[in-house]
Structure 1
C-alpha cells in the first residue's frame, strides 16, 4: 500500500468522524426545540414531530439502538439526551453516510442479495485402501513341490496371465500314465468306460480341463503346472518359496486388483444423515493435483469412533492407470441430489461478532447500516439468509469491517460530544444493581413487556413508557394488560433491561 493510498484512507476515516459529530449535534440541536421540552407524561403520538415536517418514530441511545423509548429525555445508559429516529430516515438507525470518493478509497464493494439454490456439499478426508472385493487367493490344488518361483517379493505388480510359479505334482504322473495306457489299448467293449474313468481320476487329482486336453493331445505325461495370475494387480502376500512342499489347499499367493480402490472416509457424526449408499462422489489426492476420481458410497459402517466422533464411509473409486495406491490421502466431496432455493449473500459479507450475525446494508445515497440477520448453511462461498434481508437489497462484500467500526466510532463521538456539552464525563448505571418502580402494564409480547412507569430515583429517571424483557421464570400467570404492578429490574449485558420480579398492587386491576 503506497503513501497516497494510506493518506486517502486516513482522510476518509477523519471525514466520517466529522460527519458523525455533525449529525449528532444537528439532531440534538433540533431536538432541543422540539418535544424534548414537553412533560415526561406526554405520549409519542401527541408529541409526534421533533423537526418541522418530520415524524418521530421513537427515541433511542445510539450506543444501545435496540432499546426504544416513546418520549425524549435522558438516556438511561449514558449521560446524554436520547436521539430521535424519523419515519423518513433513509435506512435503519445507527448507520453512517460515506461520500462516493471515500467509498472508493476504502475499497467498498456492494453486491445484491439474490435467490438461488444452495447445495449442501460435504467434504471429508480418508485413506486409500485395497478393494477387498478384488482380492484373489491362489492355492495348491494338489500336493507337490514348488520347483520355480517367478515372483520374488510382495507388492510386485503383475499382469493378467503372467506366470507366477511352477509346481511339480507327483500324483499327476500316476493318473496320467494310467490314462495314456488305456488310450493305447485296442478298442473293446469296456475301453470307453475305462477311458472316462481315467479322465475323471486326473480331474480329481487337481488337473484342469485344459491340462487334461493337453495330455490327451500330446500323449505324454506332464507332471508340472505353471500357475498364472487370473487378474492384474499387486502381489499382497507371497507364501510360496522355491523347494517348499505344499499340500492341497495351501495358500500360495494373494493378488489385489487396482482397477478400483476403497477410500475409508471419516464422516462427522453430525453429518452422518447426509451420507447415503449409492451417493455419487468426486475425489482428489495431493499426489495428483488437478486429477479427479469418480465413485460412489458403498456403505456407511455402523460404528462411531469414540475419540473422533466420526463414522467410516466406504467409498469405491475408479482407479484408471492404478494411480491411487493404499495409504494415500484423498479428499472426498459429496453432493446431495436435492437442493433448495433460498436467499444468498457472499460469505465474505457476513460479520460474526460472537453475540450476533450482521451484514452492512447499502441504503442508497451513500448511507450504510448494520442489519442483524439469521444465517443458515454455507457452501461454495455463499451463505443462506433465513431472516433479516430481502431479495434485491444490497450488502457490502468488502470494506464492511471499516464501515462497522466507523458506525461504532460515530456512536462514541455522539456520546463524547454530549458529555462535552454537559461538561461531565459519560456515566452509566451499575448493571449489577436492582431498581424498583411502579407502573401499568400496557402490552405483553413474547419477548417484551411494555410498562408505563413512574420515576425511578435510583437511575434518576422520570416517568416514561418503555419495554422490559420478561423474567427468566416467565410472566406471572395472574398478571394481564392494564394491571398496576410493582416490579424490580436490572440492566442486562445487551443493554436491555430485564424484569426480576413483578406483583400486582392490591386493589388495582384492569384488562381487556
Structure 2
C-alpha cells in the first residue's frame, strides 16, 4: 500500500513537472520571438532644410490713436434747437453740428448795435464842434471812449452768439450724440465725440537697445485682430527724445494712411519693423522641432543598412516667421528632418515617409487662413 502511494506521488510530481516545464519553455521561446521581432517603421512626414532671405525685424505692440480726437462740449448754456448731422457722419472742419436757442442773445445784440450807432453819431457830432473849440477835448474823448466800449460790447455779444452754434473743430467722424433736441445744456456738457481717422497714429514702445535701429521715415507693418491676415503699412514719424527710466523703453509714433477707416482709435496692434538689408537663413517648419528646457531637438533622416532611420540632434533656433523657424546651429543645407510624428520617434528609429499631402504640416513664412 505504501509503495503504491509513493509511486502515485512520484507520477504526480513528474506530471506537474512536465506541465510547468512545458509552460516555461513555451514562455521562453515566445519572449525570445517578441524580443527579436523587428519593429515596424514609424510613418512620418519630412522636410528639407531650406535657405531663405529674411529681413531682420523688431516686434512690438501698440495702440492706434487719432491724429485729432476730442469730445465736443457746450461752451455756453442754451436749449438745443437743431442737430445738423447723423451719428457716424464724416464732417468737415467748421461744419455746424448743434444750434442753441439764441433769440434772447440776438435781441441783446440788436440793442448793443443801436447803442453803438448812437455813440458813433454823437462822436461824429462833437468832432467839428471840438475843431471850432465849442466843446472841450475831454468831452470828445469821453464820447469816443463810449464808442469803443459800445463796439467791444457788441463784439463780445457776437462771440457769444457764435458759441450758440457748435461746429466741428476739424474734419473727422462723429460718434453717438449725447444730447437731444429740446435739451438744455450748460457749459461743459458733453455733446458728441469726433475722431480724425485718416491718417491715424500708432503709438508703441521699444526697449532702449533698439534706439539705434529705428529712425524717422522708416517703414513698419501692423496687424490687428479685426482684419486677421491683413497687413497695414505705415511710417515712423516721431521718436520720443528721452528714455523712460522706470521701464527703459522709448516711445515711438508711426502714421498710417487710413482712407477706408478700417483702423480705429484704441485698436490693439502687433507691430513689425523690418530692416532694409536681408540676410540668408536656414529654416525648417516649427513642427519639426521638439522644444525642451534642456535644448531643442530635431530628428534628422539618414540611410543605414538600406533603411531610413532618424538621429536626434540638438539645434539652436533663432527668429520665427509664420510656420518657419530659423536654425542657427545644428543643421546644414541639404539635411532632411522629420516634420511630423515626432512623439513616436526615438534615436535610431526606423521610419517611412508618407506621401499623403494632407499629413504634411504647413510651412509658410506668411501663413494665411486660406492656406490651412
TM-score (norm 1): 0.41
Aligned residues: 285
* Post-superposition offset of 1:230: 3.3
What displacement does 1:136 show? 6.7
**Judging changes above 3 Å, is the alpha-carbon distance between structure 1 residues 149 and 304 closer, same or farther for their aligned structure 2 residues?**
farther
Check 1:179–1:343 CA distance in 2 against 1; reply closer, same or farther (3 A cut): same
List per-residue Cα deviations over 1:65-96 (Å, max 9, x = no partner).
xxxxxxxxxxxxxxxxxxxxxxxxxxxxxxxx
How many Å separate the matches in 2 of 1:277 and 1:374? 31
RMSD between aligned residues:
5.3
Pick the aligned partner of 1:407 from 348, 355, 361. Answer: 348
* Counterpart among 257, 274, 294 of residue 336 in structure 1: 274
Does residue 109 (structure 1) correspond to residue 51 (structure 2)? The answer is no
Aligned to 2:354: none
Partner of 1:164: 98
Higher relative contact order (CA 8 A, sep 6+): 2
Tell me which residue corresponds to 1:357.
296
What is the CA-CA distance between 1:344 and the residue it aligns to?
A: 1.4
Q: Distance in 2 between matches of 1:324 and 1:115?
A: 32
* Corresponding residue number in structure 2 for 1:348: 287
The aligned residue for residue 168 of structure 2 is: 229
Encode CA deviations 1:186-205: one digit per residue, 9 max, x unaligned: 977959x8998479525641
Shift of 1:111: 1.2
SS at match of 1:352: coil
For 1:292 and 1:115, locate their aligned partners in 2 and report how far apart those are by CA, in whole Å.
21
2:326: which partner in 1?
Answer: 384
- Quick check: 2:197–2:265 contact (8 Å CA) kept in 1? no
Q: 1:199 to 1:359 in 2, by over 3 A?
A: farther
* Helix, strand or coil at the partner of 1:116: strand
> How far apart, CA to CA, are the structure 2 residues paired with 1:239 and 1:320?
29
Deviation (angstroms), 1:157: 4.8
Contact 2:298–2:315 at 8 Å: present in 1 too? yes
Deviation per CA, 1:286-344: give whole Å up to 9, x if none: 43456544445656793879xxx9998766554434444456x5332312325552431
Tell me if 1:393 matches 2:334: yes
* Superposition deviation, residue 164 in structure 1: 0.8
3-state SS, counterpart of residue 274 of structure 2: coil
**Does the residue aligned with 1:351 lie in a helix, a strand or coil?**
coil
Kept in 2: contact 1:283–1:330 (CA 8 A): no
Q: Which sections of structure 2, spanning at least 5 residues, go unmatched?
A: 1-33, 129-143, 352-372
* Structure 1 residues 340 and 203, CA gap change in structure 2 (3 angstroms): farther
CA-CA distance at 1:379 after TM superposition? 2.6
- Distance in 2 of aligned mates of 1:224 and 1:375: 64
Q: Which has the higher helix share?
A: 2
Q: Is the 8 A contact 2:109 2:154 kept in 1?
A: no
**5+ residue gaps, structure 1:** 1-13, 21-101, 212-221, 411-512
Query: Which digits, 9 at most, give the CA deviation of each residue in 1:403-429, with x for residues without a partner?
Result: 84261689xxxxxxxxxxxxxxxxxxx
Q: Separation in 2 of the partners of 1:159 and 1:176?
A: 34
Q: Could you say what secondary structure the match of 1:119 adopts?
A: strand
5 Å-filtered alignment, 1:206-245, equals 207=158, 225-231=164-170, 232-234=172-174, 244=184
**CA shift for structure 1 position 234:** 2.5
Deviations 1:417-448 (A, max 9, x none): xxxxxxxxxxxxxxxxxxxxxxxxxxxxxxxx
Counterparts in 2 of 1:90-489, with a 5 A limit?
Answer: 106-114=43-51, 116-122=53-59, 124=61, 131=66, 133-135=68-70, 137=72, 140=75, 145-151=77-83, 157=89, 159-160=91-92, 161-168=95-102, 169=105, 171-181=108-118, 197=148, 200-201=151-152, 204-205=155-156, 207=158, 225-231=164-170, 232-234=172-174, 244=184, 253=191, 255-260=193-198, 261=200, 273-274=209-210, 278=216, 280-289=219-228, 291-296=230-235, 302=244, 317-325=256-264, 329-338=267-276, 341-346=279-284, 347-363=286-302, 366=308, 368-390=310-332, 392-399=333-340, 401=342, 404-405=345-346, 407=348
1:274, distance to aligned residue in structure 2 (A): 4.4
For residue 53 of structure 2, give the secondary structure of its aligned residue in structure 1.
Answer: strand
Give the conservation status (yes or no) of the 8 Å contact 1:352–1:358: yes
SS of aligned partner of 2:169:
coil
Tell me, in whole angstroms, the C-alpha distance in 2 between the residues paired with 1:175 and 1:240.
32
Structure 1's 360 and 117: CA in aligned 2 closer, same or farther, altered over 3 A? same
Q: Deviations over 1:143-169 (max 9, x none)?
A: x75143434999765623133122522
Q: Residues 81 and 181 of structure 2 are in contact (CA less than 8 Å); yes or no, is this contact kept in structure 1?
A: yes
Deviation at 1:229, TM superposition (A): 2.3
